[in-house]
Amino acid sequence: MNKLEQLRQRSLVVADTGDIEAIRRYRPHDATTNPSLLYKAAQLPQYQPYLVDALAWADRHRGERGRLAAMKLAVAIGAEILDIVPGVVSTEVDARLSFDTRATVEYARQLIHLYEQADIDRERVLIKVASTWEGITAASILEREGIHCNLTLLFSFCQAVACAEAGVTLISPFVGRILDWHKASSGRDFTAADDPGVASVQGIYQYYKSRGYDTVVMGASFRNTGEIEALAGCDRLTISPQLLQALEEDSGTLASGLPDRVAPEERPRQALTEAEFRYQLNADAMATEKLAEGIRNFVHDQEQLEQLLLQQAKERATSDAATNS
């Protein structure tokens, strides 16, 4: 077996892409999307009908046209993905709402409503929310309503603890972005054996499993296959098409990865107050910087996606006017 086949025997493989063709090729169990991936997908010719439908839907509803169209597009692509994968798709809340609990909850409810209008059960959707205190609080509310959440942009142990205590369905601790920060700050390279992003996920996984949390750990944001192999055995791993291809083309033996079993830990679970969470996050320079950067980047790509949709609408209106004149 190639390494991708070996990995499938140890972890659920998730495709980190909005590219339908890549998902068809690699047959992941689940798929994750975000504004960056949707923006890239929206520029491909095969997705143009989705853009037209999203704009037409936005025009029939009250609200900011670009934002509504982007929401509809995300659901349309998510629904298409769910025709291919047997599991779930993750769809992201607008990152501009990362510090607004109430608005995050309302946005998530709207996404689920659109999925249910498309005859897709909410059990097949994970709502992606940034792992801010406000986002975690919103996820706790949504989980009690039967809306399952994927807490993203997770870089620190305190974020992981707060997510588990909130009862979220799944977390996406980022590996590669942690590595990026440490490489930039230290000026040196790391192997998989001493990769700080890998170590972060290993610690979270150990803590969750030793204390019986149900929250799923899904390693994300990989820079190389060595990181993936070091985390083989993690509940789920969301992987880009490029790295899926690299694993598929490698016929070697997969690294041992995480242990198959974690012994129970007698020490109690942690429960953080808001003040403790904010202090611990602030004390972690890497997590503070990467969380802020991640939100900014997702906001940028969200705005680019909306501008792309509005530009498409403008060009179509100009074309229609020329045809009718």
Confidence of residue 325 (pLDDT cuts 50, 70, 90): low
Q: What is the mean pLDDT of the chain?
A: 95
What pLDDT does 155 receive? 98
Does residue 122 register a pLDDT over 70? Answer: yes
Q: Does residue 265 sit within a domain?
A: yes
Judge whether 181 and 289 are in contact, CB under 8 Å: yes
Asked whether residue 325 is assigned to any structural domain, the reply reads no
Rounded to the nearest 5°, which phi and psi values hold at 250?
Answer: -100, 115
Let me know if residue 256 belongs to a domain: yes
Domains: count for the chain: 1
CA 244 vs CA 4, 95, 174, 194: distances in Å: 7, 27, 17, 23
CA pair distance 158, 156, nearest whole angstrom: 5
Q: Does a structural domain hold residue 222?
A: yes
CATH code of residue 11:
3.20.20.70
pLDDT recorded at residue 117 = 96
Q: Answer whether residue 317 is part of any domain.
A: no
Quote the domain boundaries for residue 166: 3-311
**Single pTM value for the model:** 0.94
The pLDDT > 70 percentage for the chain reads 100
pLDDT given for residue 261 in this prediction: 86
Tell whether 321 is covered by a domain: no
Which residues are identified as catalytic?
A: 128
Model pLDDT for residues 145-176, shown as the tens digit of each residue? 999 999 999 999 999 999 999 999 999 999 99
Q: How far apart are CA 136 and CA 261, in angstroms?
A: 28
Q: Is the dihedral of CA 158, 161, 167, 170 positive or negative?
A: positive
* Residue 103 burial (C-beta neighbours within 10 Å; 0-12, 13-18, 19+): middle
Which contiguous run of DSSP H or E holds residue 16? strand 12-16
Q: Are 12 and 29 in contact, with CB atoms under 8 Å apart?
A: yes
Residue 137 in any domain: the answer is: yes
Residue 318 falls inside a structural domain: no
